[in-house]
């Protein structure tokens, strides 16, 4: 046998990893404004190890370079609006330069992974322990999938007890978890959607959820919403509520590689990419 013959442990190419990613997070599930694709890198390059992270921020690029991976897959895109240069005069431009110099490809799966079967929304619902889940905001491409989930807790509990359960399930970051509503009220039917959830407040109410777990809720949408009653609100951080889906994506990539008779190693970044580094209680 030639030493150059394909073997069971032959690595994948960047193109093959992108294809596996598209099977896990189908492009047709993308929101119209979104970007889910290979952002930089040569499709023909070889990939042994992929680093998964929520954000393609400099700290994640540092981790990719220091750990020697050949590819990074993030949830968020690096560029979403029009860009007319990638010179190394901005953090994003420097990230592109550093990735190319290090021979590291970057791809992302954003709303495609939010919506996907077994994706971000399902991961968050599972972390809360929801059962018999349905979709909160169905995708026009496939109404059986979409953004957010609604489901039942194993048994009714107080909002406080649910908040404690959610706080334990989420990874740690400085802001923690905020609770809106009567902590002693009994709740059993819960809507979840990782990341910014302002736009889904009405959908959570129409679903008759007792509680809506999301992130990035602003003052006026949240206070106006709570003035009309349930669902009560649990507000985690954007990073924490979306980080939970990375393990599932890593497992899907490894399984996709195995189906092709290939080996792919994954690692999930634990770098916290929320903007906030410290929380102080206010008042005297
Ligand atoms: Zn997000």
In a domain, 39, yes or no: yes
- The CA 11 to ligand 1 mean position distance, Å, reads 30
- 136-164 pLDDT, tens per residue? 999 999 999 999 999 999 999 999 999 99
Give the per-residue pLDDT at 170: 98
Give the per-residue pLDDT at 269: 98
Structural domain harbouring 51: 12-113+245-268
- The CA 75 to ligand 1 mean position distance, Å, reads 7
CA-to-CA distance for 283 and 30, rounded, in angstroms?
44
3-state DSSP helix/strand/coil % of the chain, to nearest 5: 35, 25, 40
- 26-44 pLDDT, tens per residue? 999 999 999 999 999 999 9
Query: What tokens appear for 213 in the block?
Result: 């777990």
CA-to-CA distance for 226 and 233, rounded, in angstroms?
8
The closest alpha carbon to 50, from 283, 196, 269, belongs to 269
Do 64 and 127 sit in the same domain of this protein?
A: no
75 is in an annotated binding site: yes
Do 164 and 88 sit in the same domain of this protein?
A: no
Do 53 and 66 sit in the same domain of this protein?
A: yes
Do 97 and 137 sit in the same domain of this protein?
A: no
Give the per-residue pLDDT at 1: 45
* C-beta neighbour count of 211 within 10 angstroms: 26
Question: Which sign, positive or negative, has the C-alpha torsion 130, 133, 139, 142?
Answer: positive
pLDDT at 7 over 60: no
Confidence of residue 67 (pLDDT cuts 50, 70, 90): very high
Confidence of residue 10 (pLDDT cuts 50, 70, 90): confident
We report the CATH number of the domain holding residue 22 as 3.40.1390.30
Give the per-residue pLDDT at 11: 85
In a domain, 232, yes or no: yes
Q: What is the mean pLDDT of residues 250-268?
A: 97
Query: How far, CA to CA in Å, does 22 sit from each of 19, 162, 266?
Result: 5, 34, 17
70 is in an annotated binding site: no
- The CA 222 to ligand 1 mean position distance, Å, reads 19
Do 98 and 136 sit in the same domain of this protein?
A: no
In a domain, 155, yes or no: yes
Do 56 and 99 sit in the same domain of this protein?
A: yes
Host H or E run for residue 90: none
In a domain, 205, yes or no: yes
pLDDT at 271 over 70: yes
225 is in an annotated binding site: no
Do 182 and 260 sit in the same domain of this protein?
A: no
pLDDT at 5 over 50: no
Confidence of residue 86 (pLDDT cuts 50, 70, 90): very high
Give the per-residue pLDDT at 284: 81
Give the per-residue pLDDT at 234: 98
CA-to-CA distance for 8 and 262, rounded, in angstroms?
6
In a domain, 283, yes or no: no
pLDDT at 217 over 50: yes
- The CA 146 to ligand 1 mean position distance, Å, reads 14
In a domain, 156, yes or no: yes
- 184-216 pLDDT, tens per residue? 999 999 999 999 999 999 999 999 999 999 999
The domain tally of the chain equals 2
202 is in an annotated binding site: no
242 is in an annotated binding site: yes
Question: Which sign, positive or negative, has the C-alpha torsion 276, 118, 114, 98?
Answer: positive
- The CA 229 to ligand 1 mean position distance, Å, reads 27
Do 213 and 233 sit in the same domain of this protein?
A: yes
- The CA 122 to ligand 1 mean position distance, Å, reads 15
Query: What tokens appear for 126 in the block?
Result: 């599972």
Query: What tokens appear for 211 in the block?
Result: 């509680």
Q: How many CA atoms lie within 13 A of 30 on its CB side?
A: 17
In a domain, 6, yes or no: no
In a domain, 275, yes or no: no
The closest alpha carbon to 113, from 124, 126, 99, 102, belongs to 124
Give the per-residue pLDDT at 8: 55
- The CA 6 to ligand 1 mean position distance, Å, reads 39
- The CA 8 to ligand 1 mean position distance, Å, reads 36
């Amino acid at each position: 046998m030639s030493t150059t013959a394909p073997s069971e442990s032959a690595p994948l190419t960047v193109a093959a990893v992108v294809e596996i990613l598209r099977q896990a997070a189908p492009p047709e599930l993308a929101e119209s404004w979104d970007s889910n694709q290979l952002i930089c890198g040569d499709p023909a390059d070889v990939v042994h190890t992929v680093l998964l992270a929520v954000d393609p921020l400099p700290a994640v690029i540092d981790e990719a370079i220091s750990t020697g991976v050949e590819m990074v897959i993030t949830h968020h895109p690096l560029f979403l609006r029009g860009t007319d240069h990638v010179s190394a005069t901005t953090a994003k431009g420097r990230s592109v330069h550093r990735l190319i110099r290090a021979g590291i490809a970057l791809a992302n799966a954003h709303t495609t992974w939010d919506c996907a079967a077994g994706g971000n929304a399902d991961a968050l619902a599972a972390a809360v322990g929801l059962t018999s889940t349905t979709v909160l905001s169905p995708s026009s491409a496939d109404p059986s999938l979409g953004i957010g989930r609604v489901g039942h807790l194993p048994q009714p509990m107080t909002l406080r007890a649910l908040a404690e359960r959610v706080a334990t399930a989420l990874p740690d970051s400085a802001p923690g978890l905020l609770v809106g509503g009567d902590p002693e009220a009994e709740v059993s039917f819960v809507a979840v959607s990782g990341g910014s959830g302002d736009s889904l407040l009405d959908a959570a109410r129409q679903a008759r959820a007792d509680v809506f777990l999301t992130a990035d809720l602003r003052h006026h949408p949240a206070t106006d919403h709570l003035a009309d009653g349930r669902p009560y609100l649990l507000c985690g951080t954007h990073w924490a509520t979306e980080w939970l889906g990375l393990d599932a994506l890593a497992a899907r990539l490894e399984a996709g590689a195995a189906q092709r008779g290939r080996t792919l190693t994954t690692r999930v970044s634990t770098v916290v990419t929320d903007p906030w580094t410290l929380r102080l209680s206010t008042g005297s």
